[in-house]
A = this chain, B = another copy of it.
Amino acid sequence: MPERAAVPAAPDVRQVGRETCLALLTDMLRVRRLEERCAQLYGEQKIRGFLHLAIGEEAVAAGVMPHLRADDNVVATYREHGHALLRGVSMNAIMAEMYGRVEGCSRGRGGSMHLFDRATRFYGGNAIVGGGLALAAGLALADRLAPRPGVVTACFFGEGAVAEGAFHEAMNLAALWQLPVLFVCENNLYAMGTALSRSQSRIDLTAKAAAYGMPSANVNGMNVLAVHDAAGQAVAQVRERSQPLFLELHTYRFRAHSMFDPELYRERAEVEEWKKQDPIPRLAAELRARGAFDDAAEARLEADVAQEIADAVAFAEVGTLEPVEDLLRFVTSERTPR
């Protein structure tokens, strides 16, 4: 990828292949339905604390994750249910986490914002905007020093993070030391209620990457095939050259920032306009147009996903609460395993 590549033309279903497209559709739908259910469960007070949904933005995680290997690392934000799920964390463990159960992927200590999983090298779930970028650089540095050539660290963050000093420092460090990090900026145009244009003097975020001499690309984050294609090239480049790369994915969140947000800062019409680009029906329609998807397939898919979710909820419902006597566990490491 050249320095600051132009928006590439997205490939179509035929170019990508039916199987892959169906897998992408399935992935996005699993995230969508999971999060819809989370919203419900929040209303029922089964899930508490902050809950941030990525509904509308599923193409990002869906398009990037398939390119990562088991030995790659992932760092995400508080809006990370989809990232965790598509990285391979089980829905059961995710749901149990939001229920605050021991069976949760962070034993119920972390909640929605702090999903962690050692097995899939999923390094969280960070609730400090910009907090994950330096961490990602460090993971990549360890891969360099170990050495583990070819390992990639994918670091997801919102466009709001670009204003943080932490972004600047980590981008420079990664570029200076040529660390194999894929920086994935999920530009959904808002940081809570703050539009990008009220947050950045220059809203073309790839210009920041250029200031560090880091290659970058702009991608339509509402088209999962475009994301999949660009991410494939990007991951390959990071892997081969062992150097960082910045992807700006243009996307949009259909729901409120969190469950407390009255959405005073944007027009309903703007949201509706973006909903027309919903990546799930878009891909479904393309597949249908090619005869690769139909009502029956859709019903089957929805049923499968519904079943997975129902199972996860059932799993979480019967999960265990950590005994209160264990409150102080995991503050420091346990030297003799219990």
Contact = CB atoms under 8 A, between A and B. Distances in A.
Contacts of A168: 165, 167-169
Interface stretch (A116-124, A201-209, A231-239, A303-311): A201-209
Interface stretch (A5-13, A143-151, A211-219, A327-335): A211-219
A255 to B, nearest CB: 27
A176 B200 contact: yes
Interface residues of A, number: 22
B176 A199 contact: yes
A166 interface: yes
Contact of A201 (B166, B198, B207, B214): B214
A98 B199 CA distance: 42
A318 interface: no
A172 interface: yes
Contacts of A176: 198-201
A169 B200 CA distance: 10
A163 interface: yes
- Candidate in A168, A199, A202 with the most chain B CB atoms within 10 angstroms: A168
B175 A169 contact: no
Question: Closest 8 interchain pairs by CB?
Answer: A165-B165, A175-B201, A168-B168, A211-B211, A202-B213, A176-B201, A201-B212, A207-B211
